[in-house]
Amino acid sequence: MLVTLQNAFQFPKLSRCREFEVLRRNVAVSDNDKLTLLDLVQSRPRDTPLVTVSNHMSTLDDPLMWGIKGLPITDPKLSRWTLTAEDICFTNTLFSYFFRLGKCLPVRRGAGIYQPYMDDALDVINRGDWLHTFPEGTLSQEDRPIRRLKWGTASLIARASLQPVVLPIAHSGFEKVLPENYMFGRRPLLPLPFKNITIVVGEPMVFDIPQLRLMAKAMTLKDVNRGRPDIEDKADEPLGRNGESYHGGNSSSSSLGGVTKGGLGGGASSASVEEKALRWMYSHMSENLRCLLQELTLKAKQLNVRV
């Protein structure tokens, strides 16, 4: 059985717009998926953060996907925080005020995963709140596999002082509601009605960060001892100041622990090896999330065709 989404926006006045009333009638999520999300949002322990991740199809993904009936989207204590592009949502005072009201946090593209804005997101997790991210880092409406994820989400999970529950979510249909290349290479002025949207919620998961740190150190030191000081990175994701926090000094929460100066051998500096170990860990976590999102996205597409 499918249930429809109730509230399109966190802002009550906007949620009553006729256009969005039409849209949400065509959005569906299964009862089991709905219960999984509602339980984590409303009933998880107070000291357990929630990090949801999803594919990114359009600028309507958030907030429309949070309109599930019963979800406390207008409750400032329980509703989600979300990372949004600074160059799109925070370009002037009015936009900044509007999106801040909607619990949106700016993030600067290309500034690295240790930029000050990411510290704000880390604070959200460390308070035990709910944070949503789009780890692809950009819109993707092409019918192709999920692209390599940015490492920001993985770094937040790994550096958090509280262990978050991670919930992957995928959707299909938003790309038809607000296509980027609708006419003359532009999106439509208003969302297109009567398009089916399907949301699929995955299984909650918890990353074993201590074990991943040990694996990252072991894999990195193994390569160093084999005479490969220039360990091949899986991606050129910018960390920012060689793994240092933009607030000054080495971020203790980003340290792998146990990789200390003088304890490496192989002719590689401790800082170099630790940064490469962090890259291995962030890449490994991101790839796990990417595979989960890819599987859920395919399921969402299949269900969307049947609706």
What are the pLDDT digits (tens) for 118-154?
999 999 999 999 999 999 988 788 888 999 999 999 9
Output DSSP code: residue 243.
G
Q: How far apart are CA 265 and CA 250, in angstroms?
A: 22
Residue 171 lies in a domain: yes
CATH of the domain at 20: 3.40.1130.10
| Both structure tokens of 303 | 């269900």
| Both structure tokens of 298 | 């395919």
Residue 265 lies in a domain: no
Residue 259 lies in a domain: no
Helix axes 270-306, 209-225, angle to 10 degrees: 120
pLDDT of residue 244: 43
Average pLDDT (17-29) is: 61
DSSP bridge partners of 8: none
Q: What's the Cα-to-Cα distance from 236 to each of 66, 148, 225, rounded to whole Å?
A: 33, 11, 23
Instruction: Count how many domains the chain has.
Output: 1
> Is 283 a residue whose pLDDT tops 90?
yes
> pLDDT tens across 167-223, in order?
999 999 998 888 878 888 788 888 888 888 899 999 999 999 999 999 999 999 888
Q: DSSP labels for 150-183?
A: PSHHHHHHHH-SS--EEEEEEEESHHHHS-TTSB
Question: What pTM value is reported for the model?
Answer: 0.82
> pLDDT tens across 208-228, in order?
999 999 999 999 988 877 765
| Contact status, residue 123 vs residue 142, Cβ threshold 8 Å | no
> Is 249 a residue whose pLDDT tops 50?
no
Residue 273 lies in a domain: no
Residue 264 lies in a domain: no
Residue 113 lies in a domain: yes
Residue 157 lies in a domain: yes
| Contact status, residue 283 vs residue 274, Cβ threshold 8 Å | no
| Burial classification of residue 12, based on how many CB atoms lie within 10 Å of its CB (0-12 exposed, 13-18 middle, 19 or more buried) | exposed
Q: How far apart are CA 286 and CA 253, in angstroms?
A: 18
| Both structure tokens of 51 | 């990090």
Q: To which residue do tokens 């019918």 refer?
A: 143
Q: For the chain, what is the mean pLDDT?
A: 82
Three-state SS for 43?
Answer: helix
**Structural domain span for residue 173:** 2-208+284-306
Least confident piece of the model among 105-109, 181-185, 225-229, 298-302:
225-229
Angle value at C-alpha 72, between 69 and 77, nearest 5 degrees: 175
Strand order in the sheet with 81-85: 2-4, 27-30, 197-201, 165-172, 50-54, 130-133, 81-85, 104-107
Residue 257 lies in a domain: no
Q: How far apart are CA 261 and CA 270, in angstroms?
A: 5
Output DSSP code: residue 201.
E
